[in-house]
Structure 1
Amino acid sequence: MPRTFYPPPATVNRLVLLGASNLTVSLRQIIQCLQHHCGGPSEILVAAGHGRSYGQDSQFLGRELPGIIASELWTQLDSCKTLPTYAFLTDIGNDILYGAAPAQILDWVGWCIEHLQQQSAQIIVTDLPLASIESLPAWRYKLFRNLFYPFCRLSLDEVRARARAVHRGLLTLAAHQPFMLQAQHPEWMGADAIHHAYWKRDAFYQQVFRHLRVSPGTAGLNGCKQAVSQRWLRRPKFAYKKVLGWEQRHPQPSGILLDGSVVSLY
């Protein structure tokens, strides 16, 4: 018997998600937590990927992605219809281990925030897990640096100094721009000090998104807080990436969730 397909329900909001490994491994969970507070179905724009940089090309196991600010996400965002928009930026300290200077990292993050503000987005940015980085033993730092960032030669003291500078810069940005800066306390972090502990992710993201204000006009059946347990009907594929030097492209949106939310991955 042929399968019956129904048209997707109308989207009530837009989610813009930017980050690297923490966003990648918890993407579906983050979407579900956001929709619990903001409602759905959603139009979801994502720039993520293991080892992703905000401002430069990055590689991970033979896969290369452009910097987040150079991705096609921004062209798509500018062409979208007007919807209540909620944005989440994380994994900002990733670029320290690529050798980027704190001022450059802050410029990249500021650029993203400025463009999201043009969409009247409510924006949440995770701060660097500074306390975890300060308490990280040197031997463990070298182990994880050599595993995840084999070309990095920064000492732990240099990483700490740059992390402090980025932290101070984020505080300054938050004092002058309308976004929420979310602290990352040691109890949420794993052994490497930069990734969230697996068993604490759901509680962490629920805490992160609990202060979001639901925009007027999203009340009703579709706009109510989501109780559905999200799963992929079709997993998203990158709009553009290189694998061992070969370019691959996929039209967007490329992912669909159980509630009809569509996901574009850049």
Structure 2
Amino acid sequence: MSTRFTSDEPSRSTATNPSTNGPGTVGTETERIVILGASNVAISFSRLVHSLKTVVPDDRQLDLLVACGHGRSYGKYSRVLVRTLPGIIECGLWKKLDELEASRTENSPTKPRAIITDVGNDLIYGVSPEQLVTWVEECVRRLQKYESEIVLTGIPLPSLLRLSPLRYTLTQKFFFLDKKSTRDGMMQKAEELNLRLAEMVERYSVTIQPQPIEWFGFDPIHFRHRERASVWRTLCSHWSGFDADRSDWKNPPFGQITSLAWKPAEQWWFGKSRGAPQPYYHRDRLRVFLY
């Protein structure tokens, strides 16, 4: 069955409020990592949890805050089949980040690290490049309030530009069934978005990572399976003092199956709230907050 993405705000119902479990293990220094994205993050979710935990020193706690999901929008409600998620700038991750950072000691040697990726779904939803960059910039502002080290991926233009009109139409119908746009019009928007992102990062201390054509195969927007370990190692290598080579970045056995059952703080199925308290996972100096 193909996965179809739409943008659709549910009728408001009260989701389960995420729990606040305090600053973590007392006397333990905390590494805090924020991952924002859509399907590429969701596909690699278990790989990221396992690999980031492997890289972080054993004497430190890892707080991993993730906002992702297939078809995820940075500023609008998005729906995949019968499941709806809020826009990334509207989700509960930001309140939780504020709470956690408020508990950090003043002289702590660690600052949050962040990856912002999958910036592009909103173009299919009809959002202008200007508006989309405004949403991404707001994420950057909120992260830099805590002096976060941020890595932003550009748009995979080389992969998109090699799409023929027929392949573009097939890709659109497969992933975004109820959205219609022309290949040429979308390529113009993607190029404008890439330029606006490049201009935006110049105003902030943000590292922008281009997405080379080798990262993609027939599917023009999702990292090809054999490249995923290299992709995430490359992105995380931009963080200072972060030894990304400590992990092989492979997916743990049965990890993807297990992580599919993990629930975010706020989501709707068939219009009904199905959120879960956070952190959804807390074990062995690892806490995963999923939004």
CA contact (8 A) 1:11 1:261 kept: no
Question: After alignment, is 138-147 or 14-23 more displaced?
Answer: 138-147
Distance 1:50 1:62 in 2: 12
CA contact (8 A) 1:141 1:192 kept: no
Residue in 2 aligned with 1:138?
165
Distance 1:72 1:173 in 2: 25
Alignment of 1:218-237 (within 5 A): 236-237=262-263
Q: Give the deviation of 1:154 after TM superposition.
A: 1.0
Residue in 2 aligned with 1:106?
133
CA contact (8 A) 1:130 1:164 kept: yes
Distance 2:79 2:142 in 1: 25
CA contact (8 A) 2:75 2:87 kept: yes
Q: Give the deviation of 1:41 after TM superposition.
A: 3.6
Which residue identity is paired with 2:76?
Q
CA contact (8 A) 1:37 1:210 kept: no
Residue in 2 aligned with 1:21?
39
Residue in 1 aligned with 2:97?
77
Residue in 1 aligned with 2:214?
187
Which residue identity is paired with 1:17?
I
Question: After alignment, is 202-211 or 46-55 more displaced?
Answer: 202-211
Correspondent of 1:251 among 263, 274, 277: 277
Change (3 A) 1:151 1:122: same
Which residue identity is paired with 1:58?
S
CA contact (8 A) 2:38 2:68 kept: yes
Distance 1:36 1:174 in 2: 30
Q: Give the deviation of 1:201 after TM superposition.
A: 0.3
Alignment of 1:58-207 (within 5 A): 58-80=78-100, 81-82=103-104, 84-207=111-234
Distance 1:184 1:229 in 2: 20
* Unmatched runs of 5 consecutive residues or more in structure 2: 1-23, 105-109
SS of 1:105 mapped into structure 2: helix
Which residue identity is paired with 2:85?
L
Residue in 2 aligned with 1:3?
none
Change (3 A) 1:41 1:228: farther
TM-score of the two chains, using structure 1 as the length reference? 0.86
Percent identity reads: 31
Change (3 A) 1:229 1:140: closer
CA contact (8 A) 2:123 2:129 kept: yes
Which residue identity is paired with 1:245?
G
Point out which structure has higher relative CO (alpha carbons under 8 A, 6+ apart). 2
Correspondent of 1:212 among 226, 239, 246: 239
TM-score of the two chains, using structure 2 as the length reference? 0.79
* Unmatched runs of 5 consecutive residues or more in structure 1: 1-6
Question: After alignment, is 193-202 or 26-35 more displaced?
Answer: 26-35
Superposed CA deviations along residues 36-91 of structure 1, whole A, max 9, x for unmatched, are: 55545410111111110000000002100000000010011111132521101110
